[in-house]
Amino acid sequence: MFRLVVVAAAAVGALLIPAGAAQAAPGNHKPAVPSSLSVTGVACGDKGIFIGTTAPEFSAVLGDPDFGVVSGEQVTATFALWPVGQRDQRVEWSATPLTSGGLVRSYPGPALTNGVRYRFEVRATDRAGATSRWSPECTFTVDTTTPHPPTVTSTDYPATGEAGGPGIPGRFTFAIAGGDTDVVAFGWSAPGTGPRDVPPGRAGKVTVEFTPSFYGLNIVTVQAIDRTGNRSAPTTYAMTVRNTEPRLTDLSPDAGPGEPHTFTVAPGKLGGLVSYDYRLNDEPATTIAAAADGTATFVVTPTAPGRNTISVVGHTAARTPTAEASVVVYVVYPPTTPTVTSPDFPTDGSAPPLVGQEVTLVFHPGAPGVTEYVWSTDFGATEQVATAGPDGTATVRYTPRDWPYLLVQARSRSTDGTESSTVEFGWDLTSHAPLVSSPQYPSSGTGSGPGEFTFAPAHEGVTGYEYSFDDNAVQTVEGETATITWTPPTTGWVTLRVREHVGTIVSDPTEYRFHVE
């Protein structure tokens, strides 16, 4: 019994549509017959459709020649629904009106019944009462029953024990279970494969091929999919893939950079090996024949700095592969870049040299035959050359001025013309940029007319200051604390740069910025 009558209409707050339709106003056009009917996103078809829910959404496309022409035009869709063969249980309800053409969606209210075939149709009524013809009927069946989980079998990779190996394909058979008659596909996946859908054969079975890429536990997951799209609970088929790696041994683990390594390789769990393919890193593989006992020896010479991988795959006479065995060889060359040290920077946590204080830099070779060093403190913009002594070292004196951090870039040159890559070394310096104040021109503030600027020391032993306004000439003033008077030549933003003097040591600058009205 279809129990949707009247209840559904009440559930959506709609009114049952009377059998007679209202007459259209003069000059009014009838709405178009609703089209593109669908149920829960599944388009209606001539042979009927299946849906997997008891609370479907119905939809159709509405149109009206008066849309955009008649002010205030709107069209209301009337849906009609009944079980096939029981038209006396037909129920109608109205959806929310549309003010322009497009898709209208609506729900009937109470749940439908699983396993029952239904039909629905739609017509449209405009604001003036003109009504379209009913659309063609759409037939659908509610099917919320999920299939039984399928069975999975394999003689190549049985569910117990070890079998096969990485790179060795296996066949797996999926079969419909539980007497299901509406399964149309199996959805399956495995490590590195899928998800994929395959249809069953006439016997309700299908066989697929899967090649494991690693040994140990591998799982094939399969679901049965019915004509509605319902999916069964997954069947997980677990198998243990045999480790078929050959045994690879480095007989020269202590070989130095650029020296050859001799390797031996022997069969593992996969016997009958007649050849091996070995490769160094990403170079092309080299094939060698195996001895009667399945062993082989080969020599490679890793030269790339750092990690080098030597890998081997064995093959039987039938070209069945083993898993890949590998050994990593690290090549470490002696450093060729120079180092830079300084005896003037403390290592006991005490204060480093002042900005402006001369320091000693010592360049040390990273390779034999170094004759000179190219160095800079401005990332190569201004390079200098320091000649190395007989021991390959060079010493220079340098005075850092502008920043409380000294960064040195250096590279070495050798007698044979070899030039090393550039390295960087850095040290912290002690900043002693002076303090600047002005009652007429506060920092980042605004003032006008002549102003006084006071310079105060940031370090003991200050004997004077040097200063400049914007890019004008540098001037000096003596004293531990000093005050100058300045009259602005123009308006706008001004930057005052001040350095303090501690004897011959000149500090890093203080930049004091202000605005002149």
- 451-496 pLDDT, tens digit per residue, is 999 999 999 999 999 999 998 999 999 999 999 999 999 999 999 9
Indicate the pLDDT class of residue 68, thresholds 50, 70 and 90: confident
Question: Are both 371 and 386 inside the same structural domain?
Answer: yes
pLDDT of residue 39 exceeding 90: yes
> How many whole angstroms separate alpha carbon 411 and alpha carbon 146?
73
414: in domain? yes
pLDDT (tens digit per residue) in 263-315: 999 999 999 999 999 999 999 999 999 999 999 999 999 999 899 999 999 99
Of 428, 447, 474, the domain-final residue? 428
d(CA 400, CA 509): 12
Domain shared by 415 and 453, yes or no: no
| CB-CB contact of 490 with 469 (8 Å) | no
Q: pLDDT tens across 203-234, in order?
A: 999 999 999 999 999 999 999 999 999 999 99
Q: Check whether residue 368 and residue 383 sit in a common domain.
A: yes
The answer to whether the bond into 450 is cis (omega within 30° of 0) is no
Q: Global pTM? A: 0.59
Residue 233 lies in a domain: yes
Judge whether residue 78 has pLDDT over 90. Answer: yes
Does residue 12 sit in the same domain as residue 138? yes
Give the confidence band of 20 by pLDDT, cuts at 50, 70, 90.
very low
> Residue 108: which pLDDT band, with cuts at 50, 70 and 90?
confident
Predicted confidence band at 26 (pLDDT cuts at 50, 70, 90)?
A: low
Q: Are residues 448 and 423 in the same domain?
A: no
Dihedral pair phi/psi, residue 10, rounded to 5°: -65, -35
Tell me: do 66 and 117 sit in the same domain.
Answer: yes
2 part of a folded domain? no
Phi/psi of residue 7, nearest 5 degrees: -60, -45
CA-wise closest residue to 320 among 451, 443, 167:
167
- pLDDT at 395 > cutoff 70: yes
3-state secondary structure of 383: coil
Q: Is 215 helix (H, G, I), strand (E, B) or coil?
A: coil
Asked if 363 and 373 touch (Cβ cutoff 8 Å), the reply is: yes
Which of 299, 331, 363 delimits the end of a domain?
Answer: 331
Question: What is the span of the domain harbouring residue 377?
Answer: 339-428
The 3 state secondary structure assigned to 451-478 is EEEEEECCCCCCCEEEEEECCCCCEEEE
For residue 13, is pLDDT > 80?
Answer: no
pLDDT one-digit tens code per residue, 152-194: 999 999 999 999 999 999 999 999 999 999 999 999 999 999 8
Asked whether the predicted pLDDT for residue 30 surpasses 80, the reply is yes
Residue 10 has pLDDT above 70, yes or no: no
Angle in degrees, CA 245, 248, 252, rounded to 5:
165
Among residues 468, 434, 446, 439, which one has the least CA distance to residue 514? 446
Say whether both 396 and 442 belong to one domain: no
Can you say how many angstroms the Cα of residue 272 is from the centroid of all Cα atoms in its chain? Answer: 44
Residues 127/203, Cβ–Cβ less than 8 Å: no
Q: Are residues 11 and 138 in the same domain?
A: yes
Joined together, the tokens standing for residue 468 give 């400049």
pLDDT of res. 25: 55
Task: Say which CATH number the domain at 125 has.
Answer: 2.60.40.10
Residue 61 resides in a domain? yes
Q: Which range among 24-28, 96-100, 184-188, 299-303 shows the weakest confidence by mean pLDDT?
A: 24-28
Confidence of residue 72 (pLDDT cuts 50, 70, 90): confident
Q: What is the pLDDT of residues 414-439, one digit of tens each?
A: 988 889 999 999 999 999 999 999 99
Give yes or no: residues 91 and 182 share one domain.
Answer: no
Total domain count, the chain: 5
Query: Which H or E element spans position 8?
Result: helix 7-11
Considering the domain boundaries, does residue 80 fall inside one? yes
- Are 17 and 117 in the same domain? yes
Residue 352, domain member (yes or no): yes
Do 419 and 369 sit in the same domain of this protein? yes
The CA–CA distances, whole Å, from 57 to 12, 38, 66, 96, 466 equal 13, 8, 27, 14, 83
DSSP 8-class letter at 246: P
Q: For residues 186 and 204, give the distance between their C-alpha atoms in angstroms, rounded to a whole number.
A: 10
Give per-residue pLDDT as tens, 355-379.
999 999 999 999 999 999 999 999 9
Average per-residue pLDDT in the chain? 93
- Is 354 among the domain residues? yes
User: Do 440 and 419 lie in a common domain?
Assistant: no
Choose one of 395, 428, 461: the last residue of a domain.
428
Q: Is the pLDDT of residue 55 over 70?
A: yes
